[in-house]
């Protein structure tokens, strides 16, 4: 398949939503609320005093390399005596190895299938070293999952429904007899379940254990479909909920024993895969990655250090804890978490954000950022187009029914006080609603990250507007219909209109904070757009004496995406770049 270049920042038409269950999570809905609760519980538990990583023993890079080559060694280059050629993965694979990077995967099941078809395909592009010739991008020897494997919590059930089943429907069809390696780092949604689902898919069994019982099929697992009820029943019996012992992706073999690892990719280029849990990199991991005089690195982290033209605190803290200065040492930093593609340069280092594996879309920054962005998918024009639909989207409940339910409860109290006591009582309730909404809005925007003089007035105006809605509607219905319409009908009509109006105002607020650069995440989470999915295909090359185009190790990357995965699942070339850490910089 020949890839055509995506038109830069093309404002696409409305994106089609999947209709097959399980559909995408509504991030202001009741299903997402379960994920937020798990986040709170996991954050309370996951401290330095209770840290699962302290039980993990990371392996030496050469041990992990050996296990990788046990899987794909049939294609490796061997010396006359039978040993493998070279001490890095690219050398052992004959000079180059292909890696597919995908992050933020299991959400809408229809989109998941399209993503699986995309990364399991072969593409043709212009050869960067030979003008006028074409280069085939083969399916990766390694599939690297960049975290957040399923939403809202990466439990065995959600991973099965939203990742394993839809991906395997595609991968089983495309099995070619060539075994491939599965590697991964966990994201925050994986840690909400204590890495239980993550480990069942991504952790290699120990030599002494039988990973999969004869009666189990990891490609078609059968988890409990009602885990909360099953847990309560099992708890009452003093038993445990039965889960599949392993999950599997057809054709891919997990090889890692730890949630973080190092792997020699090519001479002078190592792969660092980092796990910050929900808080920070632990001391053991810091010591593991501390390599004096370390060569160039490809570093995969759960959170980017840059995104939306801003410095991201979690990713930046991770780099700082590992002693990695992007402006001083050549590093290719790859991260998901932000469901958007962005590439920027910092000195000799490259920042890549690629969280387009299946979750809802995060749009681009709409204003000027702190650093130049060299490529993004989508860009500001397309992102701005998506935001115009947000107020109505929230008003009709398409962002989820949790917020409309809350607004309905608030408005019900205000309207009941108005019809029962009078305007003074409803005004007091309205002021309380205004205060609650203002505080919630300030927390949602993140007032600590912005100037308080911008956030507080904005939140106060929104709170007053939403608080005034039920009172204004009650006065209007009194004036227009008190003698015509039966009182309960007036109450019900005012309540319905107040709920819709409050939700519309909330959506307008989300649109404005994205347009003003105050908060990009919440607005696009409410939109829940399934568009602009993508993954990164990497070619890692070792130096070649016979090819002057490869004097030193280097990494080429192609970003393949699809704008509308449901209605128009045609892949396009989003970006192509080269990480060449040993190239001599010009005098200029």
DSSP 532: -
- Between 208-217, 261-270, 306-315, 392-401, the lowest mean confidence (pLDDT) is in 208-217
**Percent share of the chain, pLDDT over 70:** 85
For the domain 61-193+249-361+537-579, what is the CATH code? 3.60.21
Res 231: pLDDT? 52
Q: Radius of gyration of the chain from Cα atoms?
A: 26
Report H helices in 56-161: 61-72, 89-92, 109-119, 156-159
- Between 269-273, 288-292, 371-375, the lowest mean confidence (pLDDT) is in 288-292
Average pLDDT score, the chain: 85
What gap in Å lies between CA 156 and CA 61, rounded to an integer?
A: 29
Residue 587 has pLDDT above 50, yes or no: no
- Between 112-126, 335-349, 515-529, the lowest mean confidence (pLDDT) is in 515-529
Res 33: pLDDT? 67
Res 211: pLDDT? 59
- For the ranges 50-54, 120-124, 279-283, the one whose mean pLDDT is highest: 120-124
For 322, phi then psi, to 5°, come to -95, 0
Q: What is the pTM of this model?
A: 0.91
What gap in Å lies between CA 377 and CA 387, rounded to an integer?
A: 15
pLDDT in tens, 163-215: 999 999 999 999 988 899 999 999 999 998 889 899 999 999 877 665 556 55
What gap in Å lies between CA 146 and CA 303, rounded to an integer?
A: 9
Res 459: pLDDT? 84
pLDDT band at residue 253 under the 50/70/90 scheme: very high
Tokens standing for 406?
């809350």
CA torsion sign for 565, 569, 574, 576 is positive
Res 586: pLDDT? 39
CA angle, corner 411, sides to 405 and 416, nearest 5? 125
Tokens standing for 420?
């029962």
pLDDT in tens, 40-98: 666 666 555 667 787 888 989 999 999 999 998 766 655 555 555 678 999 999 899 99
Res 69: pLDDT? 92
What gap in Å lies between CA 277 and CA 537, rounded to an integer?
A: 26
Question: In the block, which residue shows the tokens 């490809």?
Answer: 298
**Nearest alpha carbon to residue 230 among 243, 215, 218:** 243
**Nearest alpha carbon to residue 342 among 364, 312, 320:** 364
pLDDT in tens, 431-485: 998 898 888 888 877 766 656 667 788 888 888 988 888 888 888 877 766 555 6
Pair 560, 3: CB distance under 8 Å: yes
> For the chain, what are the domain ranges?
61-193+249-361+537-579, 390-526
Q: Where are the beta strands (DSSP E) in 59-170?
A: 96-102, 123-126, 134-137, 142-145
């Amino acid at each position: 398949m020949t890839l055509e270049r995506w038109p830069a920042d093309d404002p696409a038409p409305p994106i089609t939503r999947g209709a097959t269950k399980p559909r995408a999570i509504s991030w202001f809905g009741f299903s997402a609320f379960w994920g937020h609760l798990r986040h709170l519980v996991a954050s309370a538990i996951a401290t330095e005093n209770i840290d699962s990583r302290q039980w993990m023993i990371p392996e030496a890079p050469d041990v992990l390399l050996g296990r990788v080559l046990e899987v794909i060694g049939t294609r490796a280059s061997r010396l006359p005596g039978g040993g493998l050629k070279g001490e890095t993965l690219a050398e052992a694979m004959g000079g180059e190895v292909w890696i597919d990077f995908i992050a933020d995967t299991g959400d809408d099941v229809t989109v998941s299938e399209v993503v699986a078809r995309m990364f399991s395909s072969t593409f043709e592009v212009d050869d960067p070293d030979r003008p006028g010739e074409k280069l085939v991008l083969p399916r990766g020897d390694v599939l690297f999952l960049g975290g957040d494997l399923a939403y809202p919590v990466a439990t065995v059930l959600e991973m099965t429904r939203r990742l394993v089943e839809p991906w395997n429907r595609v991968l089983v069809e495309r099995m070619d007899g060539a075994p491939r390696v599965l590697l991964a780092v966990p994201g925050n949604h994986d840690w909400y379940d204590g890495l239980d689902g993550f480990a069942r898919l991504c952790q290699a069994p120990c030599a002494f254990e039988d990973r999969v019982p004869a009666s189990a099929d990891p490609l078609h697992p059968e988890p409990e479909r009602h885990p909360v009820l099953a847990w309560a029943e099992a708890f009452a019996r003093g038993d445990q909920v039965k889960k599949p012992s392993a999950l599997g992706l057809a054709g891919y073999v997990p090889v890692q024993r730890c949630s973080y690892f190092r792997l020699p990719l090519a001479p002078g280029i190592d792969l660092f895969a980092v796990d910050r849990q929900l808080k920070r990199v632990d001391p053991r991991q810091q010591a593991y990655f501390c390599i004096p005089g370390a060569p160039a690195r490809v570093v995969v982290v759960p959170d980017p250090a840059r995104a939306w033209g801003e410095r991201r605190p979690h990713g930046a803290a991770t780099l700082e804890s590992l002693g990695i200065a992007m402006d001083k040492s050549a590093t290719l930093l790859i991260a998901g978490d932000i469901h958007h593609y962005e590439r920027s340069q910092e000195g000799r280092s490259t920042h890549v954000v690629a969280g387009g594996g299946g979750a809802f879309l995060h749009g681009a920054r709409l204003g000027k950022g702190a650093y130049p962005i060299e490529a993004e998918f989508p860009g500001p024009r397309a992102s701005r187009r998506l935001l115009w639909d947000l107020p109505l989207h929230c008003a009709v409940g398409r962002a989820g029914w949790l917020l409309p339910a809350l607004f309905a409860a608030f408005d019900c109290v205000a309207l009941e006080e108005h019809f029962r006591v009078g305007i003074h009582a409803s005004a007091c309730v309205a002021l309380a609603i205004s205060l609650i909404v203002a505080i919630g809005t300030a927390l949602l925007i993140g007032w600590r990250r912005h100037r308080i003089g911008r956030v507080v007035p904005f939140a106060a105006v929104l709170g007053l507007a939403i608080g005034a809605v039920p009172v204004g509607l009650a006065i209007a219905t009194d004036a227009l219909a008190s003698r015509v319409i039966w009182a309960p009908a007036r109450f019900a009509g005012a309540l319905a209109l107040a709920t819709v109006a409050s939700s519309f105002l909330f959506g307008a607020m989300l649109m404005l904070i994205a347009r003003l650069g105050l908060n990009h995440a919440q607005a696009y989470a409410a939109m829940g757009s399934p568009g602009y999915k993508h993954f990164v295909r990497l070619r890692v090359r070792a130096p070649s004496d016979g090819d002057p185009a490869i004097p030193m190790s280097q990494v080429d990357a192609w970003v393949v995406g699809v704008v509308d995965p449901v209605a128009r699942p045609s892949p396009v070339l989003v970006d192509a770049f080269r990480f060449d850490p040993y190239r001599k910089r010009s005098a200029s």
